[in-house]
Amino acid sequence: MNAWDAWLAAAWPGFAGFAWPWAWALLPLPLLVRWLLPPRQPGSPALRVPYGGRLDEAAAAREGVPGAWLVPALAWVLLCAAAARPQQLGEAQTPPRQARQMLLAVDLSGSMSETDMRLGGQVVDRLTAAKAVIADFLERRAGDRVGLLVFGQRAYMLAPLTLDRDSVRQQLRDSVAGLAGRETALGDAIGLGVKRLREQPAGQRVLVLLTDGVNTAGVLEPLKAAELARTEGVRVHTIAFGGSGGTVMLFGVPLPGGAGEDVDEDTLRQVATMTGGRFFRARDTEALAGIYAELDRLEPVDVAAAPVRPRLERYPWPLGAALLLAFAAWPLGRRGA
C-alpha cells in the first residue's frame, strides 16, 4: 500500500486499496487531449448548424461562470476513482473447518470376551478395555463425522456417520461380545466400511479396524476388500489387539487361563499397506491407548483457519457521485443558454 492508499486507509476505516490502481494513469487524459489536438482555426467552424450562434453565446456565458471547470474536473476524478475499483474490508469471517469422515470398526467376536487386559488396576476383558480407549479417542475427535461398525460372523452398522459423538459412544457402550456372532468376518467389515465411505469427500475417508482374530467368516476375503478400499480411496488403519490369553481368578489372584486366538498380523499389515494406512499391534490397554493417540496425529482434525475479511467492491460510490455531478452541472449549461 503506497502513501496515497495509507492516507485513505486512515481517513476511511476498512479501506483495502484499489484493485486496479493503474487506472489513475487516466487522470491527466483530458489535459493531454486539450494539448495534443490541433486548435480550431478561427472562422472555420467544425460543425455548421442553423443555431450555431446561440451555441457560441451559451459557451461564452458558461466560460464566464467562475469555477465552472471544477464540476467536470471533479466528475472526471471520481470516474477515475471508480475505474481504479476501491475496495473495503468486510466483517471478519471464519472459514469452515475440515474434518474426517471416520468409521470405527470394532470386533465383537467371541474372543473379545477374553479377560487378559488390565484397566484401572483391574482385570477386564478385551472389549471392555477397547471401549474405554475408543471412548477417550472419540472425545478428541470434535469436528469429525464418526460412525460405528461392528462385526463378528457378519458386519453391521450400529451408528452412521454423524457429528453426534455421544450417540456413537452410547452404541459402543451397549455392544457386547458375541452380538454379531462368535466368528470373525474381517473382509465383510472392510467391505461394508468402504460402501459407507465411498460417497464421502476424497481424502477424508478413513476406516479404523480393531480385531483380535483371523478371518473365519463372511463372503469377502480381507485382501480383496483392501483392493476395493484402495480403489475407492479409503485409508484403512488396522489394529491387532489381544494379549496371551484369558485369565482365571483364584482367591482374587489372576492366573493364566489358556492361550487366546492368534491374530492374523500378516493380513492386517497387508490391508493397511495396500490402502495407505498403518498397522498397529497392541498387547495391552496402554499400548492400545498409545495407538489411538498416534491415530490422532496421523488423521488430524484440521483446526479452523484464521478469520479472513472479504474485500467489498466500492466503485459504485464514486461512480454514483460522478453521475450526480453531471446532473448538477446540467443547470449551469441551461443557464448559460
- Asked whether residue 315 is domain-assigned, the answer is yes
User: At 212, is the secondary structure helix, strand, or coil?
Assistant: coil
Q: Are residues 252 and 150 in the same domain?
A: yes
Q: How far apart are CA 235 and CA 207, in angstroms?
A: 6
Least confident window among 21-30, 128-137, 147-156, 326-335: 326-335
- Asked whether residue 248 is domain-assigned, the answer is yes
Q: Are residues 159 and 23 in the same domain?
A: no
Confidence category of residue 4, pLDDT binned at 50, 70, 90: low
Mean pLDDT for the chain overall: 80
Confidence category of residue 259, pLDDT binned at 50, 70, 90: very low
Q: Are residues 24 and 58 in the same domain?
A: yes
Q: Are residues 141 and 260 in the same domain?
A: yes
- Asked whether residue 41 is domain-assigned, the answer is no
- Which has more pLDDT, 299 or 205? 205
The residue ranges of DSSP E strands in the chain, in sequence order, are 15-18, 86-89, 101-107, 117-119, 122-124, 145-151, 155-162, 205-211, 235-241, 247-250, 253-256, 279-282, 311-313
- Which has more pLDDT, 291 or 16? 291
Q: How far apart are CA 278 and CA 298, in angstroms?
A: 9
Confidence category of residue 336, pLDDT binned at 50, 70, 90: very low
Residue 88: pLDDT over 50:
yes
**What pLDDT, on a 0 to 100 scale, did the predictor assign at position 42?**
56
Residues contacting residue 14 through CB under 8 Å, at least 6 positions apart: 88, 89, 90
Confidence category of residue 250, pLDDT binned at 50, 70, 90: very low
Residue 100: pLDDT over 60:
yes
- Asked whether residue 43 is domain-assigned, the answer is no
- How much of the chain, in percent, has pLDDT values that exceed 70? 74
**What pLDDT, on a 0 to 100 scale, did the predictor assign at position 249?**
45
- Which has more pLDDT, 74 or 232? 232
Residue 200: pLDDT over 80:
yes
- Asked whether residue 303 is domain-assigned, the answer is no
- Asked whether residue 42 is domain-assigned, the answer is no
163: containing domain: 101-298
| Overall domain count for the chain | 2
- Asked whether residue 86 is domain-assigned, the answer is yes
Question: To the nearest 5 percent, what fractions of the chain are helix, strand and coil?
Answer: 45, 20, 35
Q: Are residues 124 and 182 in the same domain?
A: yes
Q: How far apart are CA 175 and CA 257, in angstroms?
A: 24
CATH code for the domain of 107 = 3.40.50.410
Rounded to a whole number, what is the distance in angstroms from the first to the last CA of the chain? 47
Confidence category of residue 237, pLDDT binned at 50, 70, 90: very high
Q: How far apart are CA 307 and CA 89, in angstroms?
A: 12
**What pLDDT, on a 0 to 100 scale, did the predictor assign at position 163?**
87
Residue 119: pLDDT over 90:
no
Q: How far apart are CA 333 and CA 337, in angstroms?
A: 6
Q: Are residues 80 and 110 in the same domain?
A: no
Q: How far apart are CA 333 and CA 314, in angstroms?
A: 30
Q: Are residues 83 and 182 in the same domain?
A: no
What are 39-70's pLDDT values in tens digits? 655 555 555 555 555 545 555 555 555 556 67
Q: Are residues 83 and 156 in the same domain?
A: no
**What pLDDT, on a 0 to 100 scale, did the predictor assign at position 319?**
85
Q: Are residues 169 and 211 in the same domain?
A: yes
- pTM of the predicted structure, to 2 decimals: 0.59
Q: Are residues 79 and 211 in the same domain?
A: no
Residue 197: pLDDT over 90:
yes
Q: How far apart are CA 85 and CA 312, in angstroms?
A: 10
For 203, list phi and psi in degrees, rounded to 5. Answer: 90, -10
Q: Which of 258, 263, 259 is nearest to 288 (CA)?
A: 263
Residues contacting residue 17 through CB under 8 Å, at least 6 positions apart: 1, 5, 9, 86, 87
Q: Are residues 144 and 237 in the same domain?
A: yes
- Asked whether residue 251 is domain-assigned, the answer is yes
Q: Are residues 249 and 319 in the same domain?
A: no
- How much of the chain, in percent, has pLDDT values that exceed 90? 31
**What pLDDT, on a 0 to 100 scale, did the predictor assign at position 333?**
53
- Bridge partners (DSSP) of residue 238 are 209, 279
What are 286-328's pLDDT values in tens digits? 998 898 888 888 887 665 556 677 788 888 888 888 888 877 7
